[in-house]
Amino acid sequence: MIQKYFGTTLLKNITRADYQKFLNFIGKGDSTHPAHAKQTVVKINSHIRACVQNAINDGLIRENFTNNTHIVYDPQHTRGINYLNQAEAIKLLHFLKKNYSGVPPYAMAYLALMTGLRVSEVAGLTWDSIDKKHHTIRVYQSWNFNSKSFAPTKNEFSKRSIDYTPAVGKLFNRVRLEQNNMLMLTKQTNDKNLIFISSRRAEPYSVKVLEQYLKRALKEAHIKQDLTFHGLRHTHASLLLYKGIAIPFISKRLGHKNVNTTINIYLHIIQELQSEESHKTINYLNKLEQLSN
C-alpha cells in the first residue's frame, strides 16, 4: 500500500497533510482501491509510526509527519466484537451437544466454544494433535480455506497446548467413531489425518458452510443474538474474563502475541469488570475500616 501510494517519495518530503491523505486512501478507498476496516488501518498506521520514529532516532528526518493525524476507515468493513452471554452460551452448548453426532460442523462449533480456537485452527486439527492421556490439544498449524491445505498458525505465539474438558474428550471419541464408519462406507481415505472432514471430499468444510450451520443452531436454540463462527472464540474469552480468570492465562490460551493484544480486543469487557471491582474494593475497605473501630 505504501509503495502504491508514495512510490519513491523521500520521507523528508512527506508532510502531515500528505500522510492524512494516505490514511484517507487506505481507509475509504477509491475506484482502484478497496476500503478497509478500522483494525487494518490502525495496524498499518502503528507500523508506519514506528518506522518514522526510528527514522527520526537515526537522524534521517527531523519531524514526525504521523503526529496529529487521525484514523479513517469504512464502518461497513468494521465488525464489532460479537459474543454470547453465559445463558445464551449454555443454550447453544446444550443444542450442539445434543445434535453434533453425525454433524461435524456442530461438533466444530462446540469445540470452538469450549476452547476458543480460531476456525482455521479447528479445521486444521489432526488426530495426532490430541493427547488423550493429559487432555490437551496441541495447536501447531491451521487450515488455509483458499488453498485447501495446511498453513502455519497466525503467529509463533499461536503455537500452544490447551487443556480440554472430559465432555470435549467424549466429542473426540464420537467424531472418531463416526468418521471411521463414514470412510469405510464411502471408501475414502483421510490422508491428511484431519479430525473434522466432510463426507463428500474428506476435507474440511468451508467457512461459509460452517456459518450456515451455526446460524441454524442459533435459531434452533432460540438465541436471537447474531454470531459469526469467530464469535464463538470471543464468547469463550468473554466468559473466562467474566469468571475472573487471569488475563495472562486467557491470552496464552487464545494464542495472542501478548497480554496487550487481549486487553485491546476485550477492552470493553475489562473496563466493565474494573468498574465492578472498584465497587467491591470500596465495599471491602469500608468493612475493613469498620472492623478497626
The structural domains of the chain, with segments of one domain joined by +, span: 2-77, 86-241
Query: Which residues share a beta bridge with 149?
Result: 144
| pLDDT score, position 172 | 98
- Contacts of residue 144, defined as CB under 8 A and 6 or more positions apart, other chains included, come to 120, 150, 151
| pLDDT score, position 79 | 56
**Regions of the chain with pLDDT less than 50:** none
| pLDDT score, position 242 | 92
Q: Are 224 and 120 in contact (CB under 8 A)?
A: no
Topology at the third CATH level for domain 86-241: hpI Integrase; Chain A (1.10.443)
Is 253 exposed, middle or buried, given 0-12, 13-18 or 19+ CB atoms closer than 10 A? buried
3-state helix, strand, coil in the chain (%, to 5): 60, 5, 35
Ordered DSSP codes for 240-266: HHHTT--HHHHHHHHT-SSHHHHHHHT
Euclidean distance between CA atoms 71 and 135, whole angstroms: 44
Q: Are 26 and 1 in contact (CB under 8 A)?
A: yes
Ordered DSSP codes for 103-134: -HHHHHHHHHHHH---HHHHHT-BGGGEETTT
Record the pTM: 0.75
Ordered DSSP codes for 177-239: HHHHHHHHHHT---TT-BSS--TTTSSPPPHHHHHHHHHHHHHHTT--S---HHHHHHHHHHH
Residues 17-50 pLDDT 10s: 999 999 999 888 887 778 887 778 888 898 899 9
- Output DSSP code: residue 151: E
Residues 53-96 pLDDT 10s: 999 999 999 999 999 999 888 766 555 678 999 999 999 999 99
| pLDDT score, position 268 | 81
| pLDDT score, position 71 | 87
The x, y and z cell numbers of residue 48, run together, are: 508506519
Topology alike, domains 2-77 and 86-241: no
CATH no. of 2-77 = 1.10.150.130
**Cα dist from 168 to 93, 204, 264, whole Å:** 11, 19, 29
